[in-house]
Amino acid sequence: MNDKLLSFIGLCRRANKLCYGFDAVTKSVNEKKAQLVLFANDTSTHTISDIENVCKKCGVKTLTLGYKKEELSLCIGKNCAVIAICDSGFANKICELFEMTKEVK
């Protein structure tokens, strides 16, 4: 995997600074632990809508990545379509890398 954004998300996983899956992400947002929520681009609209509503109430930013569930799952080693980054430094760097990937395309 040579994509900087996916590699950095993998680093977040190894640093134990993220959670994944609908229930864990929703819980981390409600507990004010999540700093950023990321969706795979093929996440169901129902899942995105439900989590975005919670994020809006709690003031947590969301991003839809340019990757499918399979790619996101591969980079963290777990099958998922939604993850929450639970560290502000990691979240800021991911936002920065996300903006850089948008400029390249």
* CATH number of the domain residue 56 falls in: 3.30.1330.30
Q: How far apart are CA 25 and CA 55, in angstroms?
A: 10
Q: What is the pLDDT of residue 2?
A: 47
Per DSSP, the residues of 86-102 read --HHHHHHHHHHHHHHH
The answer for 38, left when phi > 0, alpha when psi is -120 to 50, beta otherwise, is beta
Note the pTM of the prediction, 2 decimals.
0.93
Question: pLDDT tens digit string along 50-93?
Answer: 999 999 999 999 999 999 999 999 999 999 999 999 999 999 99
Domain residues for the domain of 88 are: 4-104
Q: What is the pLDDT of residue 103?
A: 62
Q: For the chain, how many structural domains are there in total?
A: 1
What is the strand order of the sheet 82-85 is part of?
18-20, 82-85, 36-39, 61-64
| Cα four-point dihedral sign 6, 97, 35, 46 | negative
Q: What is the pLDDT of residue 1?
A: 39
